[in-house]
Amino acid sequence: MDFGGINPVILIATLMASAVPILMAALGEAVVERAGVLNLGVEGMMIIGALGGFIVAVETGSPVLGFVGGAVAGALLSLIFALLTQVFLANQVATGLALTLFGLGVSSLGGQGYNGIKPPSTTQLLPDALADLPVVGPILFGHDWMVYFSILMTAVLWWVLKSTRIGLIIRAVGESHEAAHALGYKVNRIRLMCIAFGGAMAGMGGAYVSLARVPQWVDGITAGAGWIALAIVVFASWKPWRVLIGAYLFGGITVLQLNLQVAGSAIPVEYLSMAPYLITILVLVIMSAGRKANGAPAALGQNFHASR
């Protein structure tokens, strides 16, 4: 069952895996932005996570510890952002951009000596008997644990933001920090925790690139995935399930265009390479167009200082 040399079952199975880094980073950023903070440093946090995860996995031999290491590395970098914007009230846009540049630089430095090493492999979670089932096997059961974890996180975040008190408080802080403060919520502390969470998610997403997708360490390994994650958050109207759709769309087209390149398509390679970015943004724009209130948190990007 192939179409022009492309097997749809393999395509779907691969896109789910290839979407994991963006999905994780975008979910984290969605929470951060729901709390009213615009952290443009996603790319930087991802690549630091990719490096941190890689180093920990190589040194300990455990891929799971590697992902934990990636999360910690991303969270630590995000705390720099948190310190600057929440304590010293620095401009969030400039700080976020600086964070990305910083992350790229530091990862390039720290990654010296890790080139060409193969990390311990992240293996399939479920037994082969399930994964070998026709059609549903590769799509539903043939993945490593991070794929399931990213889908689980989508569901958990959707539920937390929609129905729990902590989710309500996060949304309230992002909607009006003045009002939240008047009710006695610690605006900057809540935001700080959200930023650290977003950093951990981006770090895990980055670690997935270096430990499972590539898997090795190369300079600039995340290749702009953080920026796509940022765009997906906006066009997904800050809603977790839509973030998942956006990430899968991007992952799908990335995989598809690679397959097309391999299959020797008549379309020039350059166009195929830009297709995932272009189509994802187009589709998300169309999805979010026409609705009057697109649900942006009202206090997004504004620093809060309790003056009186």
Query: Looking at beta carbons only, is 143 or 191 nearer to another protein?
Result: 191
Q: Give the C-alpha distances (Å, rounded to integers) separating 65 from 52, 56, 71, 181, 226.
A: 10, 7, 10, 38, 22
Query: Looking at beta carbons only, is 118 or 165 nearer to another protein?
Result: 165
For 100-118, b/e burial (b = at least 16 CB within 10 A) is: bebbbebbeebbeebeeee
Query: Looking at beta carbons only, is 168 or 278 nearer to another protein?
Result: 168
Residue from 136, 166, 183, 263 that binds another protein (CB under 8 A)? Answer: 183
Per-residue DSSP letters for 225-238?
HHHHHHHHHHHTTT
DSSP assignment letter at 46: H
Query: Looking at beta carbons only, is 58 or 190 nearer to another protein?
Result: 190
Region binding another protein by CB under 8 A among candidate stretches 24-32, 46-54, 228-236, 290-298: 290-298
Residue from 133, 152, 155, 168 that binds another protein (CB under 8 A)? Answer: 168
Query: Looking at beta carbons only, is 158 or 227 nearer to another protein?
Result: 158
**CA–CA dist 27, 44 (Å, integer):** 16
61 binding another protein? (CB under 8 A): no
One-letter amino acid identity for 197? F
**Phi and psi, residue 180, nearest 5°:** -60, -40
301 binding another protein? (CB under 8 A): no
Asked if 191 contacts 35 with a C-beta cutoff of 8 angstroms, the reply is: yes
161 binding another protein? (CB under 8 A): no
User: How many Cα atoms sit within 13 Å of 160 on the Cβ side?
Assistant: 17
Residue from 166, 178, 223, 271 that binds another protein (CB under 8 A)? Answer: 178
- What is the 3-state composition of the chain as percent helix, strand, coil, each rounded to the nearest 5? 70, 0, 30
113 binding another protein? (CB under 8 A): no
Residue from 129, 134, 165, 270 that binds another protein (CB under 8 A)? Answer: 165
166 binding another protein? (CB under 8 A): no
**CA–CA dist 168, 63 (Å, integer):** 35
| Residue 158 Cβ vs another protein, minimum distance, rounded to whole Å | 16
291 binding another protein? (CB under 8 A): no
175 binding another protein? (CB under 8 A): yes
Q: Please give the distance of CA 111 from its chain centroid, rounded to a whole number.
A: 21
169 binding another protein? (CB under 8 A): yes
| Residue 182 Cβ vs another protein, minimum distance, rounded to whole Å | 4
User: How many Cα atoms sit within 13 Å of 27 on the Cβ side?
Assistant: 31
Query: Looking at beta carbons only, is 181 or 213 nearer to another protein?
Result: 181
Tokens matching residue 151: 């889908």
Q: Which is nearest to 216 in space by CA: 100, 51, 71, 65?
A: 51
89 binding another protein? (CB under 8 A): no
Which residues lie near another protein (CB under 8 A)?
163, 165, 168-169, 171-172, 175-176, 178-180, 182-185, 293, 295, 297-298, 308
